Amino acid sequence: MDIKVSGRKTTVTDALRARVEEKVGEACKVFDIEPMTVDVVLRYEKNPSNPTPAIVEVTVRARGSVIRVAEHGTDMYSAIDIASDKVTRQLRKFKTKVVDNRQQGPSAADVAPVKPVEDLADLLIPEEEDDQLVREKIIDITPMTEEQAFVQTDLLGHDFYVFENATTGLINVVYHRKNGGYGIIKPKIEDPDE
The 10s digit of each residue's pLDDT in 1-13 is: 778 998 988 888 9
CA quadruple 18, 13, 55, 140: dihedral sign? negative
The count of domains in the chain is 2
* Same domain flag for 113 and 92: no
CB-based contact 71:79 (threshold 8 Å): yes
* Same domain flag for 153 and 85: no
Instruction: Please write the tens of the pLDDT for every residue from 148-176.
Output: 888 888 877 778 889 999 888 889 999 88
* Same domain flag for 82 and 145: no
The Cα–Cα gap between 30 and 20 comes to 16
Would you say the pTM of this structure is higher than 0.85? Answer: no
Confidence of residue 42 (pLDDT cuts 50, 70, 90): very high
Picking from 85, 102, 119, the residue at the C-terminal end of a domain is 102
CATH code of the domain containing 145: 3.30.505.50
